[in-house]
Amino acid sequence: MKLELRGITKRFGSFTANDAIDLVVEPGEIHALLGENGAGKSTLMNVLYGLYHPDGGEILIDDKVVSFAGPADAMAAGIGMVHQHFMLVPVFTVAENVELGHEQTKGFGILDAAKARREVTEVSARYGLSVPPDALIQDLPVGVQQRVEIVKALIRNAKVLILDEPTAVLTPQETDELMEVMRTLKASGTSIVFITHKLREVRAVADRITVIRRGKVVGEASPNSSSAELASLMVGRPVQLTIEKAAHEPGDVIAEVDNVRIVDDAGQVVVDDVSFDVHAGEIYALAGVQGNGQTELTEAIIGLRPLDGGRITLSGRDITDSDVHDILRADLGYVPEDRLHDGLIGSFTVAENLVLDRYDSAEFSKGPSLDVGRIAANARQRVEEFDVRTQSVDAPGSTLSGGNQQKLVLARELSRPLKLLIVAQPTRGVDVGSTEFIHRRIVAERDGGAAVVLVSTELDEVLGLADRIGVMYRGKIIGEVPAGTSAETIGLLMAGTVPDDLPARLRDPGATATGSRTTVRTEEPL
Amino acid sequence: MSTAATTRPGDEVVIHRVVEKPMSTRRRVGIGVAISVLGLLSLLLGHNAQAHDARFDLSQGSEFFHVPDLVLPVAATAYVIGIILLAVGAYQAVRGFRPRGLRIAGTGIGALFMLAFLSWAASGGKGSTIDLLGVLENTLALAAPLILGALAGVLCERSGVINVAIEGQMLAGAWAGAMFGTLMGRFGGVLTALVAGALMGWLLAVFAIRYLVNQVVLGVVLNALSLGLTGFIYDAIMQPNANTMNTPQVFQPLQIPVLSKLPLVGPLIFDQNIIVYLMYALVILIQWGLFHSRWGLRTRAVGEHPKAADTVGINVLRVRYVNVILGGAIAGLGGAFMTLGSVGSFTKGITSGNGFIALAALIFGRWSPKGAVAASLLFGFAYELQTLLSLVAPPVAIPSYFLAMLPYLATIFAVAGLVGKVRAPGADGEPYVKE
Ligand SMILES: Nc1ncnc2c1ncn2[C@@H]1O[C@H](COP(=O)(O)OP(=O)(O)O)[C@@H](O)[C@H]1O
Ligand SMILES: [Mg+2]
């Protein structure tokens, strides 16, 4: 099946997310759509999938114009999509999710569970996508959830499969497996639109590459192009792909996390006796796939989450039971991973967001009232210093782009001297320009003598910034490795495998500290 | 199934080790103390008993064979139960039940304490006989509208629309049932009650789904609307012409051949009016359909993750409309039960909070039909207890205003204490907007 997009234009209000985009996907090819965050890739694919109605342009299948009123039409035409944020019902089983919308019935709308299960098993066997049909989605790791999404599309006979940033949530090994699946699908005649902003992957698997910038197609590239070429095409200027930083000189231990254990409301041990320490002038990275306890651990450190065991000290002071206010006063800075939800208040102005943690200090208040003048002056200075692109300091925080919101949060947290800085996913959804800036500021903070804990699921970011790396897997730090460790080794750790060549002292510092190992319950593989 | 020869990292399925999160000590001990207090109370009841025996009547007379009365020595029964509860309370305070065990134990504790309490209540003066079968029959009759109301809630909230307007929908059904039941015969009354409830449901749907009005506020407004409208029509039309407008024929119980002659369950379950039989059918149909039919799968999907449903081609808004309107109709039937199934006429505000208790039953029953039935029965029993205690003259008179509080007390305790953390459908109350 040949798919063609001609002059697709999509506007959100006055903002043009897709501007007359042309794209041809030939039968049986892997076509990469490369572009920065916010370039308009997802929007384009949502148009193709019938979720958005284009303001202009047309879609052609095998040279015939088609129009989609909704996803049902797109699926009927042979288009399948794996969304960037999975479209799976967490409390449903795999089979139920796959069936939803095209249910196998015994007639009269009565579900035929056995037939559904058989169908799932068949398709997953045919393409080597093993999924457990009866497991609940919420119990599955994202890699498996992604396979469920693919099975879901294939069961509906997708001839063109759209994968929107499929590797963002995967370990390097899982990414390799996904690429293998993509090749299998291609061999069986399915075309794939592969959306990503990661250059290595594009070059490894794509037959053809279309680059999108600010809603426009800016060129085609061959998979043989160098990373630097692709990057500059994507960003529109030459970019520096590596992070510059001097050798680090660690000082005293600043923060100590000792046998911390967190159990969530469902009774899952999300952080399992984790211990590590961070020195002054050091960036300690907590690497790992999303959902392995990093979020909970950082929330616990800044006092947002009670511990079920263990101790946290900051400069020798026990802060385990202190509240957030006291912990911030102890010179801890925190850049949360969900900046719109936890990092700032969308309806507050830029200026207000910059003093959220200090509005009550003498600096910004006059008796019981706020010192609006000082707050505004502070905002102008910070906005300048951190290159926050905003119309004014009185614009609501929600009107800023992702990268600028992140710089806003960083500007607030770095505006006081810190002993410990915790940054979680600092560059997720952030454009390349802002990413460079944010990385430089983090390194500068380290060089200024602060201890930094970096939580990141991006391996490149971890490798570029960290002086020491703890890899989290299922709530444990299963390995701690120095900077310069190969991506391969860290990838294995992220997938839960401790490589044999790893020196014993580097393995599982949590377990050695307690002298015990807890067993992890794993369900039988299929 | 094993296509991949080697197991790959992603094949392992469970992410985290699952442990039982220990209940906080305060909560554990608190619950233990509460159980022990019930135990002490039982001992006290035993001490306070006047007559030696309490007599419970368990038959109606039409069964295949006569079930003998249950005769319990009051003091001994209450003492034994008191000691059991003290032991259970101590266990809970010291060791603590697991959540599931606690739920089962809780049911048992409630039943035992009630037995002790009723024995005591029947021991006033020379002792009286409690018609236990009658009590249970009344419980069911009182629970029926609650069950129907809660089912309405299940349909709406499982599809993602909060329904605070159950009360108003029931009221509309009760009114339509009475007035049109008088004019068109009782079956016509039931039909119009369904339509009236559905219309109220439709209003909720339009404003919640189409105009994205805050669903809780909207529900409150719809209740006020229903109360005002039915009250006005009652004053203006029904009361002045009570004979021609407000005297529907009441549905009489229909005995199911053979089944109604079984001891205990026969008179209790199979000797009911047609609305109750309809209710049985609805409970079974919805409980089964929610988990085994296409309708159920789609309804739950839309209530949990509407966008996921949308991306597989399900019309989210239509599913919600259908369920909310159906829900309204079922609540309307609950209202009709009050006028056509028991009372036999409409009065202003006849539902008197039943819709809200149904809402509580929905939550207490964790958004499942069978849970809602159990919760409704509990609340129905609390109502019935109130009547019972005013009839039997227990050894110590219990103030009537305290008795009147019972159903609401039971509701508050049930929802606040026993339910603990429950999970509503993921998208409950969230309107779905495309683009
Ligand atoms: N529903 C929406 N309403 C308004 N703006 C949107 C919407 N969806 C996306 N955008 C904007 O369109 C641009 C492109 O977004 P998107 O297609 O998600 O980018 P990409 O997938 O390439 O990262 C972004 O600037 C984003 O803010
Ligand atoms: Mg995207």
A336, part of any domain: no
Confidence category of residue A510, pLDDT binned at 50, 70, 90: very low
State the amino acid at position A59 in one-letter form.
Answer: I
CA distance A453 to A298: 9
CA distance A239 to A62: 39
Across A113-135, b (16+ Cβ under 10 Å) vs e yields: beebbebbbebbeebebbbbbeb
Domain match, A422 and A397 both: no
* Residue where a domain terminates, one of A416, A432, A464: A416
Token pair in block for residue A234? 């994507």
pLDDT for A262-284, tens place per residue? 988 777 889 999 999 999 999 99
Task: Calculate mean pLDDT across residues A516-525.
Answer: 33
Domain match, A212 and A358 both: no
Answer whether residue A524 shows pLDDT above 50: no
Ligand nearest to the CA of A16: 1
Q: Do the chains contact at A111 and B294, CB–CB below 8 Å? A: yes
Domain match, A35 and A87 both: yes
Q: Is residue A466 lining ligand 1, measured as CB closer than 6 Å?
A: no
Q: Is residue A494 lining ligand 1, measured as CB closer than 6 Å?
A: no
Q: Do the chains contact at B294 and A103, CB–CB below 8 Å? A: yes
- Atom 6 of ligand 1, residue of closest alpha carbon: A12
A122, part of any domain: yes
Counting the structural domains of chain A, the total is: 3
Strands (E), A13-166: 15-25, 30-35, 56-61, 64-66, 79-82, 160-164
Domain match, A144 and A221 both: yes
| Nearest CA among A154, A124, A155, A149 for reference residue A137 | A149
Domain match, B270 and B307 both: yes
Substitution candidate for ligand 1 out of A12, A194, A340 with most atoms within 8 A of CB: A12
pLDDT for A436-451, tens place per residue? 899 999 999 999 999 9
Polymer length in residues for chain A: 526
CA distance A382 to B196: 61
- Residue A390 alpha carbon to ligand 1 centre in Å: 18
Q: Tell me what the pLDDT averaged over chain A comes to.
A: 89
CA distance A183 to A178: 9
Q: What is the pLDDT of residue B22?
A: 66
Domain match, A35 and A129 both: yes
What residues of chain A, 217 to 276, have a C-beta less than 8 Å from chain B? 263-270, 272
B391, part of any domain: yes
- Residue B124 alpha carbon to ligand 2 centre in Å: 75
3-state secondary structure chain B: CCCCCCCCHHHCCCCCCECCCCCCHHHHHHHHHHHHHHHHHHHHHHHHCCCCEEEECCCCCCCCCCCCCEEEEHHHHHHHHHHHHHHHHHHHHHCCCCHHHHHHHHHHHHHHHHHHHHHHHCCCCCCCEECHHHHHHHHHHHHHHHHHHHHHHHHHHHCCCCCCCHHHHHHHHHHHHHHHHHHHCHHHHHHHHHHHHHHHHHHHHHHHHHCCCCHHHHHHHHHHHHHHHHHHHHHHHHCCCHHHHCCCCCCCCEECCCHHHCCCHHHHHCEECHHHHHHHHHHHHHHHHHHHEHHHHHHHHHHHCHHHHHHCCCCHHHHHHHHHHHHHHHHHHHHHHHHHHHHCCCCCCCCCCHHHHHHHHHHHCCCCHHHHHHHHHHHHHHHHHHHHHHHHCCCCCCCHHHHHHHHHHHHHHHHHHHCCCCCCCCCCCCCCCCC
Q: Out of A229-238, A455-464, B152-161, B185-194, pick the least confident.
A: A229-238
B286, part of any domain: yes
Domain match, B330 and B381 both: yes
| Nearest CA among A180, A206, A201 for reference residue A127 | A180
Confidence category of residue A496, pLDDT binned at 50, 70, 90: confident
β partners of residue A33: A195, A210
Task: Calculate mean pLDDT across residues A324-337.
Answer: 92
Q: Is residue A428 lining ligand 1, measured as CB closer than 6 Å?
A: no
Q: CA gyration radius for chain B?
A: 24
Q: Which residues surround ligand 2, an ion (CB under 5 A)?
A: A 42, 84
Residues of A in contact with B3 (CB under 8 A): 124-125, 128, 130
- Residue A420 alpha carbon to ligand 2 centre in Å: 33
Q: What is the pLDDT of residue B19?
A: 63
* Residue where a domain terminates, one of B123, B144, B178: B123
CA distance A76 to B296: 23
Ligand nearest to the CA of A37: 1
Domain housing A375: 344-416
Q: What is the largest CA-CA distance in chain B?
A: 83
Nearest to B10 among A51, A87, A141 (CB): A141
Residues of B in contact with A523 (CB under 8 A): 12-14
Domain match, B198 and B156 both: yes
Chain B closest CA to A523's CA: distance in Å? 6
Q: Is residue A17 lining ligand 1, measured as CB closer than 6 Å?
A: yes
Domain match, B119 and B140 both: no
Chain A closest CA to B159's CA: distance in Å? 13
Domain match, A378 and A462 both: no
B12, part of any domain: no
B15, part of any domain: no
Ligand nearest to the CA of A431: 1
Query: Distances from the Cα of A253 to the Cαs of A204, A413, A414, B179, B182, in angstroms?
Result: 42, 21, 20, 80, 84
Closest chain B residue by Cα to residue A103: B294
Q: Do the chains contact at A100 and B309, CB–CB below 8 Å? A: yes
Domain match, A474 and A492 both: yes
- Atom 17 of ligand 1, residue of closest alpha carbon: A40
Task: Calculate mean pLDDT across residues A95-123.
Answer: 93
CATH code, domain carrying A198:
3.40.50.300
Domain match, A151 and A253 both: no
Task: Choose, out of A89, A171, A265, the residue to mutate when testing the contact with B (most B CBs < 10 Å).
Answer: A89
User: Which residues lie closer than 8 Å to B301 by C-beta, 6 or more apart?
Assistant: A89, A92, A100, B308, B309, B314
B7, part of any domain: no
Counting the structural domains of chain B, the total is: 2
Using left for φ > 0, alpha for ψ between -120 and 50, and beta otherwise, residue A366 falls in beta
A306 touches chain B (CB under 8 A): no
Task: Give DSSP secondary structure letters for A404-471.
Answer: HHHHHHHHHHTTS--SEEEEESTTTT--HHHHHHHHHHHHHHHHTT-EEEEEES-HHHHHHH-SEEEE
Token pair in block for residue A241? 């792909």
Task: Calculate mean pLDDT across residues A6-19.
Answer: 93
CATH code, domain carrying B324:
1.10.3470
Confidence category of residue A523, pLDDT binned at 50, 70, 90: very low
Domain match, B62 and B211 both: no
Sole residue written with tokens 């209940």: B23
- Residue A38 alpha carbon to ligand 2 centre in Å: 7
B20, part of any domain: no
Q: Please identify, by atom number, the ligand 1 atom nearest to the C-alpha of residue A212.
A: 22
Domain match, A248 and A397 both: no
Residue B22 near residue B34 (C-beta atoms within 8 A): no
Confidence category of residue A460, pLDDT binned at 50, 70, 90: confident
Ligand nearest to the CA of A15: 1
Domain housing B233: 134-419
pLDDT for A24-76, tens place per residue? 999 999 999 999 888 899 999 999 999 999 999 999 999 999 999 999 999 99
Task: Calculate mean pLDDT across residues A155-164.
Answer: 94
Domain match, B413 and B369 both: yes
Domain match, B243 and B384 both: yes
CA distance B110 to B298: 37
Closest chain A residue by Cα to residue B22: A267
A338, part of any domain: no
Domain match, A291 and A393 both: no
The contact set of B with A (CB < 8 A) is 1-4, 7-21, 292-298, 300-301, 304-305, 307-315, 421, 426, 434-435
Sole residue written with tokens 């719809």: B222
Residue A300 near residue A312 (C-beta atoms within 8 A): yes
Domain match, B45 and B168 both: no
Domain match, B113 and B145 both: no
Domain match, B109 and B149 both: no
Chain B closest CA to A111's CA: distance in Å? 5
Chain A closest CA to B172's CA: distance in Å? 31
| Nearest CA among B115, B45, B37 for reference residue B75 | B45
| Nearest CA among A433, A191, A141 for reference residue A292 | A141
CA distance A103 to A101: 6
CA distance B35 to B30: 9
Residue A399 near residue A347 (C-beta atoms within 8 A): no
Substitution candidate for ligand 1 out of A16, A43, A218, A405 with most atoms within 8 A of CB: A43
B346, part of any domain: yes
| Nearest CA among B126, B81, B96 for reference residue B25 | B96
Q: pLDDT truncated to tens, each residue of chain B (435 aa)?
A: 333 333 333 333 334 556 666 677 888 888 899 899 999 999 999 999 888 898 999 888 888 888 889 999 999 999 999 999 999 999 999 988 887 788 788 888 988 999 999 999 988 878 788 999 999 999 999 999 999 999 999 999 999 999 999 999 999 999 999 999 999 999 999 999 999 999 999 999 999 999 999 999 999 999 999 999 999 999 999 999 999 999 999 999 999 999 998 888 888 999 999 999 999 999 999 999 999 999 999 999 999 999 999 999 999 999 999 999 999 999 999 999 999 998 899 999 999 999 999 999 998 888 999 999 999 998 899 889 888 888 888 888 888 888 778 777 777 766 665 656 678 899 999 999 976
Task: Choose, out of B3, B16, B366, the residue to mutate when testing the contact with A (most A CBs < 10 Å).
Answer: B16
B128, part of any domain: no
SS3 call for A330: coil
Polymer length in residues for chain B: 435
- Residue A436 alpha carbon to ligand 2 centre in Å: 20
Please provide residue B88's backbone torsions phi and psi, each rounded to the nearest 5 degrees.
-65, -40
Q: Out of A225-234, A422-431, A511-520, B294-303, pick the least confident.
A: A511-520
* Residue where a domain terminates, one of A216, A235, A254: A235
Domain match, A278 and A400 both: no
* Residue where a domain terminates, one of B98, B123, B148: B123
A366, part of any domain: yes
Answer whether residue A521 shows pLDDT above 60: no
CA distance A248 to A246: 6
A339, part of any domain: no
A356 CB-contact burial (10 Å; exposed 0-12 / middle 13-18 / buried 19+): middle
* Residue where a domain terminates, one of A372, A387, A416: A416
* Residue where a domain terminates, one of B123, B150, B171: B123
A510, part of any domain: yes
CA distance A379 to A509: 43
Domain match, A493 and A520 both: yes
Q: Are strands A369-370 and A365-366 parallel, antiparallel or unpaired?
A: antiparallel
Domain match, B174 and B243 both: yes
A337, part of any domain: no
SS3 call for A194: strand
Q: Please identify, by atom number, the ligand 1 atom nearest to the C-alpha of residue A39.
A: 22
Sole residue written with tokens 């108003």: B168
- Residue A168 alpha carbon to ligand 2 centre in Å: 10
- Residue A268 alpha carbon to ligand 2 centre in Å: 31
Domain match, B311 and B373 both: yes
